[in-house]
Chain A
């Protein structure tokens, strides 16, 4: 048996002046061997007697994805992880630690609160307030009729106009929405999917009217239909034409609005529908691959398109798992873009993302507790290297947020930015045995899903995702996870503070935002007036052009822009697309 002091001396000498590669490897192996020995000793002498005296709270510890979490992590858990290949430095492949070399030392993430309600005037006012309070980007919530591509006067819109977001029927509403907001100085995000092309066209039209060059327009359209089929259910057209139109937007967007994010590939809604963090990551990356494959099939240069792709993730309660998820996402996307799709420009390997804290984690009970949940989730997003962040307001399990609640939510971000010290160094948790182990674990589990999807598409991720929509794969996976979680809450295996433990009798005291019930009537009136005053011949010509473009498999964006500028309504434009492509009814899976 070697004496351990001899060995330590040898390791020390070789470490300070290794003569060759094999020496280095030997040193690492011996150090790991030492760690293992120490671990065994600790298990035996320290841990075991302690456990015998006083056990642990639970037999098994699992995170929100039901990954079993060990008592402690040490160097032996990350032996298979190579610092240079798998972790490295920010701004450099594989970007595990962040996409920029200086991250928040350069500038903070964009604080971008999602907001919108009532008519365009109401939202314009709320935006001006948020900008005055120090918000640095705008983010638009639309009402359900707009999200579904329906006009305010559609019978299906009754009761929903201006309720969960701003009502947009025509360019006129957009003119009011952006009144006094110079488009060359803000970036604006739009949570919009089936009518995404219409909204991008409206934004372009406003920019044109303000005299802002199109290559200066900055912002994001969500434009991610695949996750709508998996989870969010804002469904109008069937899957294949939906992907076709998204690809049209890519093709038009790279030429016309080169600084605009043409898609926000979203895991957020998948998570809200009940998925695990691993499913959220896997399905989002799979969707991203599907879009890239559709773009390649169309002949779009992916090095040109990639800078205009962005992602959107949820940040939930399991702090370390969320951080691991964000780090794994960047690493996976870098590998995918470089190695699978052959993107040449390092910029194309970046995964930039927006984060929203988890709406589904908010409780109606003891609503102020939500401030704390949101803080933890926001910290995870920042530690995970997000590019922009929305923090939820504490009253959102009851209604749209009040002004006071929105202010606290924004202040939460500002306190993290200016007071916590977290942004002073990059990826402070990089190198943590636990975080590196978990990052690797989450990534592996996500790859397993991706390979299953690829198999469904016989090698193609695009076909695989479409097959998974068709055969209910995504919905079943997500629904089962949601039910499993709820079961554990019902059985008090999962504790939600204030809901199934530490409950109180309470009377609601928070102020609730009410949307003016007159909005619907006024909005319908405005739409009627515009339809009467506009040049209806120009509208008809633009809509005819759109119909023929759709029928002949041409790009629909140029006629959509023409129609928007002629004040055609969202419902009229979507109506043409529905006539040509048909509509989609989702199969019922409980």
Chain B
């Protein structure tokens, strides 16, 4: 049997807007994934440590603070530092992200960016497909 997909849903930084993260976490769980939610106000180190220790396939970072360009790359660097490989992970960002910053985030290792209004089924499909691709490569 295929190993169940493990997803870390993370709130990083000072931003307290957790509606999106929690609703997405709940729906991903209902879709059959194993979901770990970090809770609020985590540092990039804490999120990276959780991703490595929990051995997740997917990390979804939720931000409504405009700090994504600083904090997302930091999380990925710390994952590397703690012995993980962010390239083997499916890295997702959700929340308020201006469209003209999508490309830069993607070059920094983000696989998918989901803005407000994205149907959660779209996120589920994206995860299934990307995890398959990455597992096949590994």
Contacts and interface: CB of A to CB of B under 8 A. Distances in A.
Interface of A: 144-145, 147-148, 150, 156-160, 163-164, 228, 232-235, 272-274, 360, 362-365, 397-400, 479, 482-483, 486, 489-490, 496, 498-500, 508, 512, 515, 585-586, 588, 590
Contact of B96 (A232, A399, A588): A399
Interface in B85-124: 96, 98-100, 115-117, 119-121
A508 B99 contact: yes
Contacts of B29: 590
B107 to A, nearest CB: 17
B32 interface: no
B115 to A, nearest CB: 4
A224 to B, nearest CB: 14
Contacts, number: 111
Contact of A490 (B17, B96, B116, B120): B120
B33 interface: no
A234 B16 contact: yes
26 contacts: A144-B14, A147-B14, A150-B14, A157-B14, A158-B74, A159-B67, A159-B74, A160-B13, A160-B65, A160-B66, A233-B16, A233-B41, A234-B16, A235-B41, A363-B117, A397-B96, A399-B96, A482-B19, A490-B27, A496-B117, A498-B117, A508-B100, A512-B98, A512-B100, A515-B66, A590-B26
Given A235-B16, A363-B116, A364-B115, A590 B37 contact: yes
Interface in B39-82: 39-41, 43, 65-67, 69-71, 74
User: Which 9 residue pairs spanning A and B have beta carbons closest together?
Assistant: A159-B70, A233-B16, A144-B14, A163-B66, A159-B67, A508-B99, A588-B39, A499-B117, A364-B115
A500 B70 CA distance: 32
B25 interface: yes
Nearest to B13: A160
Given A144-B13, A273-B19, A590-B22, 18 more contacts: A147-B14, A160-B13, A232-B16, A233-B41, A235-B16, A235-B40, A272-B17, A273-B18, A364-B117, A397-B96, A398-B99, A398-B115, A399-B66, A498-B117, A499-B117, A586-B39, A588-B37, A590-B29
Contacts of B37: 588, 590
B69 A159 contact: yes
A375 B81 CA distance: 50
B34 interface: no
Contacts of A490: 27, 119-121
Contacts of B43: 156
Main secondary structure of the interface of A (DSSP, over half): loop
Given A144-B65, A233-B18, A482-B22, A398 B120 contact: no
Contacts of B121: 490
A28 B25 CA distance: 55
Contacts of A360: 19
A164 B117 contact: no
A144 B23 contact: no
A400 to B, nearest CB: 7
A586 B40 contact: yes
Contacts of B71: 159
Nearest to A500: B119
A482 B119 CA distance: 14
Given A156-B43, A398-B96, A590 B14 contact: no
Contacts of A147: 14
A515 B98 CA distance: 12
Contacts of B18: 233, 273
A329 B98 CA distance: 37
A486 B117 contact: no
A283 to B, nearest CB: 15
A280 to B, nearest CB: 14
A334 to B, nearest CB: 32
Nearest to A360: B19
A159 B66 CA distance: 8
Contacts of A232: 16
A363 B117 CA distance: 6
B14 A148 contact: yes
Contacts of B40: 233, 235, 586
A395 to B, nearest CB: 9
Given A156-B43, A160-B13, A483 B23 contact: yes
A144 B12 CA distance: 12
Contacts of A365: 117
A483 to B, nearest CB: 5
Nearest to A499: B117
A234 B69 CA distance: 22
Contacts of B23: 274, 479, 482-483, 486
B117 A590 contact: no
A160 B16 CA distance: 13
A160 B99 CA distance: 19
B22 A399 contact: no
Contacts of B100: 508, 512
Contact of A398 (B27, B98, B119): B98
B119 A479 contact: no
A4 to B, nearest CB: 56
Interface string B4-22: 0000000001111111001
A230 B96 CA distance: 22
Nearest to B99: A508
Contact of B116 (A144, A145, A148, A397): A397
A199 to B, nearest CB: 17
Max chain B CB contacts within 10 Å: which of A144, A228, A273? A144
Contacts of B26: 479, 483, 590
Contacts of A145: 14
A518 to B, nearest CB: 14
